[in-house]
Chains A and B, each alone.
Chain A
Amino acid sequence: MRTIPSDEVTVVLHVNGRARQLQLDSRVTLLDALRDHLDLVGTKKGCDQGACGACTVLLDGKRVLSCLRLAAQCDGREVMTIEGLARDGRLHPLQEAFIRHDGFQCGYCTPGQIMSAVALLEEGRATSDEEIREFMSGNLCRCGAYPNIAAAIREVAALRRK
């Protein structure tokens, strides 16, 4: 890869609560910055083209596709990845529910599914199975674990309403 000085950017990403300064080629996506430069490989590269949802992270609290965003666009912003969900060694309730309901087979789409589901709950869009399926439709699971993914989300949503 040929790099000329003007094609570089200096970026500060606030990832999972920690400021990380990076010197990057301007072409580097947020996804590649996380995986290749910060060694946070929980976020997965599926289609790398905005069609599968495997790279879903939270940017300033909103779910986005990290493959379709330049790292440079995220300068100064808060990024949360699957690595940032656990608190004091305890898994996030959605992570526990995915394990309990076996919401995966190969597991490759799982970090994206869970990050998307975290946002889904914040959006208040998990009030019915129909709603969960529609608003999780941007996360594909080629193993077809959808019934168990929906069950995990449904359970956590019900607990939250109590």
Chain B
Amino acid sequence: MPGFEYVQAEDVPGAVAIVSRDPGASFLAGGTTLLDLMLKDGVIAPGRVVDIGRLPLRGITRRDDFLLVGTLTTMEELAAYPTVAERAPFVRDALLAGASTQLRNMATIGGNLLQRTRCRYFRDLAVAACNKRTPGSGCAAVTGPARMHAILGASEHCIALHASDLCVPLVALDAVVYIQGVGGQRTVPLTDFYVLPSDRPEVENVLEHGELVTQVEIPLLPAGARSGYLKVRDRASYEFALTSAAAALMIEEGTIAMARLALGGVGTIPWRAREAEAILEGKPANDQTFRAAADAAIRDAFTVPGTAFKVELAKRTIARVLQTVAGLRS
């Protein structure tokens, strides 16, 4: 791979200014995505790497009903924060299921949001057809063997999966992304942060080049709500999801008063299942309701032969996590 200039950022405005005015520059935080793609796969080649690792963007602040999480907080640090276990336990579950301890000690929360797809066609320069890597070149995953790919928000242009576990409960909770640019700060709900690939898979989120995610606001669940994260994978641990689901329910006298549901392992973006939530709320908390919600969540799936199994697996994953959260099974 080509060489690059390594720059140690001294403050946030300076880091944003350097990257904003240099199209070939990139921020470096934990490095578990960027260095992999740069040094190992050679898929990206920034000429300048701005290390933000020492900026004061690390740490967690508790407010009344939400947490403000600095972008450089590690996955391990957020998982260990007591309020997360108390008021948003499915966030902790997703973090612990998301990577090995070594990776959780390195990978940051901001970096987790911005991780690139694990699609092996995207990561293999020997594959010419990748609309995400080379716009307009086609999609080798649609015609070639595919398994760890998306079925929702996907099309013949791109079926690359957003592989984050953490983002699944975060979209369910309506987390908010704080963004610093040269012109100032703005906030974007995480559910509006990602862009569906449609016919421009190279555009993955609303960030302009040089904008930096500085904090993530994570709302806490109301007292009395229960939550869970279920991840189905090819081996018991340290593996990406085939399907996953994050659910939070508030059940009052057998009736679902509040429902949050989001899916992983199936979407080109972290997938909020609002149609399913609408079916759940106001209904009795039973298997019939849960299966109806699961059917509603997985509609308009775009599958290829290798991913067709995910339709039924995702529905069963949803039904299972809802049963578990509702206390109908352990």
A-side interface residues toward B, CB under 8 Å? 2-4, 6-7, 9, 25-27, 29, 48-50, 53, 56, 59, 62-65, 68-70, 72-73, 75, 116, 119-120, 123, 125, 133-135, 137-139
Contact = CB atoms under 8 A, between A and B. Distances in A.
Nearest to B3: A7
25 contacts: A6-B5, A7-B5, A9-B6, A26-B3, A26-B5, A29-B35, A29-B39, A50-B32, A62-B76, A63-B101, A63-B105, A64-B105, A65-B32, A65-B102, A68-B35, A68-B103, A70-B35, A72-B8, A72-B51, A73-B51, A73-B53, A133-B237, A134-B237, A135-B101, A137-B100
B282 interface: no
Contact of B31 (A26, A53, A63, A73): A73
B1 interface: yes
Contacts of B40: 48-49
A83 to B, nearest CB: 19
Interface string B1-25: 1011110100000000000000000
Interface in B87-102: 99-102
A2 B3 contact: yes
B60 interface: no
Nearest to A9: B6
Interface of B: 1, 3-6, 8, 28, 31-32, 35-36, 39-40, 49, 51, 53, 76, 99-103, 105-106, 236-238
A3 B6 CA distance: 13
Contacts of B1: 27
Contacts of A133: 237
| Chain B contact surface mostly | mixed
Contact of B49 (A26, A53, A69, A135): A26
A53 B102 contact: yes
A50 B53 contact: no
Given A62-B105, A63-B101, A137-B100, A26 B35 contact: no
B31 A70 contact: yes
A7 B49 CA distance: 10
Nearest to B106: A64
Contact of B39 (A3, A27, A64, A139): A27
Given A27-B39, A133-B237, A134-B237, A69 B101 contact: no
A161 to B, nearest CB: 20
A69 B4 contact: no
Contacts of A138: 99-103, 238
B102 A69 contact: no
Contacts of A70: 6, 28, 31, 35, 51
Contacts of B238: 137-138
Contacts of B51: 70, 72-73
B101 A68 contact: no
A26 B4 contact: yes
Contacts of A2: 3
Contact of B100 (A3, A53, A59, A123): A53
Contact of A137 (B3, B32, B237): B237
A111 to B, nearest CB: 13
Contact of A69 (B106, B236, B237): B106
A136 B39 CA distance: 26
Contacts of B236: 137
A133 B100 CA distance: 11
A116 B105 CA distance: 12
